[in-house]
A and B are shown apart, each in its own frame.
Chain A
Amino acid sequence: MASTVLTIPKLQMSSTEGTLAEWLVEDGALVQAGQPIYTLETDKAVQEIEAPVSGRLVQKKPAGETYPVGTEIGEIVAE
């Protein structure tokens, strides 16, 4: 099954880390591409991050913590 890895994105030129503020979708739930799946806080803003593809969300890191850019926080497994 194809899966798409979710990592803390580099949203701004100056981003080095981001806080995974809240998962907006339950672990294991089906998501549609474009659906907001978590909120990310950076020094600049709070943003809803949308699912890049459709599939089943697997959470790998808990919300409420700050991670470096590139940290794998979950994946979306194609159904």
Chain B
Amino acid sequence: MASTTRDLGIDPAVLVEIYRQMSRIHEVDKAIQAGLSSGRFQFTYWPMTGQEAIPAAIAPLVTPEDYMLTIYRGIHDQVAKGVPLKGLFAEALGRRDGVNKGKGGSPHISHPPSGSMLTTAIVGGNTVIANGLALANKMRGTRRVTIANFGDGATSIGTLHEAMNLAGVWKLPVIFLCQNNQIGEYTPIPEYTASKDFASRAAAYGFKGVRLDGNDPIAFHNAMKEIIAEVRDGHGPVFVEAVTMRLSQHAGVGWTTHLSKEELERAKADWPVPKTRKLLLEAGVLTAEELDAIDQAARKEVEEAIEFALASPVTPAEEMLVDVYGDPEIPPRRHQRVKRAAERLPQGERKMMAMYEAIQDAIEISLELDPEVFYLGEDIGDPPGGVFRCFKGLKQRYPERIRPTPIAEQAIIGCATGAAIAGMRPVAEIMFIDFIGVCLDQISNHAAKQRYMSGSATHVPMTIRTITGGGLGGLGAQHSQALEAILLHQPGLKVVYPSTPTDAKGLLLSCIFDDDPCVQIESMLLNYTTREEVPLGDYRIPIGVAAVRREGSDISLITYGWHVRVCLQVAEELAKEGISCEVIDLRTLLPLDYDRILSSVEKTGRALVVHAATEFCGLGSEIAATINEELFAKLKAPAARFGAAYAPIAYSRAIEDAQIPNAGTIAERVRELLKY
């Protein structure tokens, strides 16, 4: 290194390191664009040409222990964070040796050893998850910082609002790093926003926002040095707007076409890669030969990575059902009949509990068992101790681990997802299942898919508890729906639905200590009207095990939730007519216990699946179809399903009673099936 001839405002060795990262990023970008143009390989690429200085200037300030999240336009962030280029290219090409086994691809990189925790292709989706990673760091008492990268386009989406609000109120050690490249996909500022800048928004959430030149690696590095130190010291979140310019297309290869030729030439003059190279040369920090050597080394590293990736086999079809869950037996498939052992309940002391009390018991046990379990949700502090009274008195005993949240379901689920990726066991409450609509992106695109997209490099051991208000009457269309089918259609989730206090406690404990995202759906009706003697202490009801609630010989009534009680009434009534009903309580909706379902129907020869959810495309259709296919020759009547009429739940009690299967209408369906 030559002696410096002028003060650069930065340690020259650090600037060289920043340039080295920029050169690596630039060579990766160039090699991808060349490979795509020449047809050497094909994948969907969202180039980041022009934005190289931002992650390069941060790289010397963080370690692999610090967390980073980014978006589909984030290859520069991955390179600077230290994701190995061989695994990165193999991933982008969908190869077996990719960092995520070729299952995530270029828009979904996760590489925990380097601290790259999650990459989203849903604009803004990673910001709420960053909060969870930051919360885990805070609760564990570390000094790690979490940086969430996103583009200016993400400033328009509601997720970021929820993320910033929660980070502010919880003083989370997170940096929201907006790489303002001045265009959201194909729509430039000011066509999509009237905001003059984005950094000033942070003040509205009660924390600091700064606007920096993301194309000036020295000034940007120096500012970030202070910001990262502040965040490490526990002063709460910071919003950084790093102003840059995307010189490339939204996707694919080539220079941007949204700038005129003159504008592009001007923008290129501010391009940090050649600009920094020139600076190092002119300041006498490095000679042309030394700079060439850096670029040459980067080129060599990239070429070796591409050759490695092209030599790696395309991830084979046999991998299809691996990584959906930790256990490859969980995904439903044809002719699947997994035998799972039933629970053995403890023989000791029992106590009379309502379902909501049994749930509180499970909550307390989980908090005692594992310091990494914590709860978050609306109103779970005292008062009211949870709107369903499951948290009474707990906030005082576990002030950090019972976390009442803002009314912001995306923030709740994203935070739980992030903390779970960090290895904690968060339990989120979504007050009513109808509200999953406002956080379905977090549940579906992020929590459920993350294990698969990361090839199990990460997983999400979180639990969601949610309530269905149906059957009580008077709660209206937005607090009464049975929406389990929506969750069942998302590979990656497990769904349980208890009908007894004993099961509610034992299933919840199983969910909390399961390594995949689980949803426990609870019935508000059952929570307050069902009481029984519940075993004290820790026990588990295994996931994927149904229970026979009443034995019978003429027909199997297969059901769950509050319809277990209704079907038991029907069985009692029909017994008087000489019809013997077997009642199966599914308890878990995914994975289904097809072994116990089919065993029952093999015995009875008839089946009716009953649920409060809409019949059309409901779980009943799935189970009935499977029974018909598997047991066709043994059936005395076609397996049938009975669910709610195709309408939102009405406020009128007369309509609600009629639109959901009730004891009278269920009995009628059974009698019809007996006529075959």
Contacts and interface: CB of A to CB of B under 8 A. Distances in A.
Pick from B37, B251, B253, B254 the residue with the most CB of A within 10 Å. Answer: B37
Contact of A52 (B37, B42, B252, B255): B37
Nearest to B36: A9
A13 B36 contact: no
B490 interface: no
B38 A5 contact: yes
Contact of A11 (B34, B38, B252): B252
B63 interface: no
Interface in A31-66: 33, 45-50, 52-53
Contacts of B251: 11-13
A60 to B, nearest CB: 12
A12 B35 CA distance: 15
A53 B37 CA distance: 11
Interface string B233-265: 000000000000000010111110100000000
Contacts, number: 62
B85 to A, nearest CB: 18
Given A45-B257, A70-B39, A72-B39, A9 B252 contact: yes
Contact of B35 (A11, A13, A50, A52): A52
A52 B186 CA distance: 26
A10 B36 contact: yes
Given A45-B257, A47-B257, A15 B252 contact: yes
A7 to B, nearest CB: 3
Interface string A1-34: 0001111111111010000000000000000010
A2 B253 CA distance: 24
A7 B252 contact: no
A72 to B, nearest CB: 7
A72 B40 CA distance: 11
Contacts of B42: 10, 69-70
Provide the main secondary structure of the chain A interface: loop
Contacts of A50: 33, 37, 254
Nearest to A6: B38
Contacts of B255: 47-48
Interface in B18-60: 33-40, 42, 44
Given A13-B44, A52-B34, A53-B34, A7 B39 contact: yes
Interface in B44-102: 44
Contacts of B253: 9, 11, 49
Contacts of B44: 10, 13
Contacts of B40: 4-5, 52
Nearest to B258: A45
Contacts of B249: 11-12, 45
A5 B38 CA distance: 6
Interface of B: 33-40, 42, 44, 249, 251-255, 257
